[in-house]
Amino acid sequence: MRKIWFSALLLVSVVGGCGVRPSAVITGAPAPAGPANAAVLYFLSGGQPVRVLRPLADESPPVSLDLLAAGPDESERERQYTTEVPSGTTVLDQTPAPNGVTVTLSIDVAGLSARAVDQIVCTARDSLGGSAQITLRGGGSVRGPLSCPLPG
């Protein structure tokens, strides 16, 4: 009896199909319009790091960390983005390390706030492809290796 019920159920499901009817071609929305050349920076919003996409005007973008150190531009300030990365911070060197990348900065990294460290580490991670651990070096101090606390 079970074989008959199973066979009947199988026959009904095969004959009935999955219920999806054929349709015409469904076109998608147009491609997104926006800058093809942009930098990913992490500023603060409400005291927490947030990902910000900054359009770039030229084809050879400056180092993302240099843009971060320059602080929010006018439109970013209008959206209430702030930074704790000291103004004038520059990247002196980026070198591969066994556990990721060492970023040498022009400032003493021991004096950076936890939020500034998060901003720098997340910005460096995204500029390097999104998975590297970052060690910060500067002013005779070393911090790390560190990982960005935010998803990339």
Residue ranges of the chain with per-residue pLDDT less than 70: 1-36, 58-62, 130-131, 152
Residue 95 lies in a domain: yes
- CA proximity to 38, closest of 13, 14, 61: 61
Residue 28 lies in a domain: no
Residue 24 lies in a domain: no
Q: What pLDDT shows up at residue 115?
A: 95
Residue 21 lies in a domain: no
Residue 20 lies in a domain: no
Residue 110 lies in a domain: yes
Q: What pLDDT shows up at residue 34?
A: 46
- Parent domain of 102: 38-146
Q: What pLDDT shows up at residue 26?
A: 62
**Helix/strand/coil for 125:** helix
Which sign does the torsion angle of CA 53, 55, 60, 66 carry?
negative
Percent of the chain with pLDDT over 90: 41
Q: Convert the pLDDT of each residue in 86-110 to its tens digit.
A: 988 988 988 887 778 899 999 999 9
Domain count, the chain: 1
> What whole-number distance in Å separates Cα of residue 76 and Cα of residue 17?
54
Q: What pLDDT shows up at residue 127?
A: 82
Residue 33 lies in a domain: no
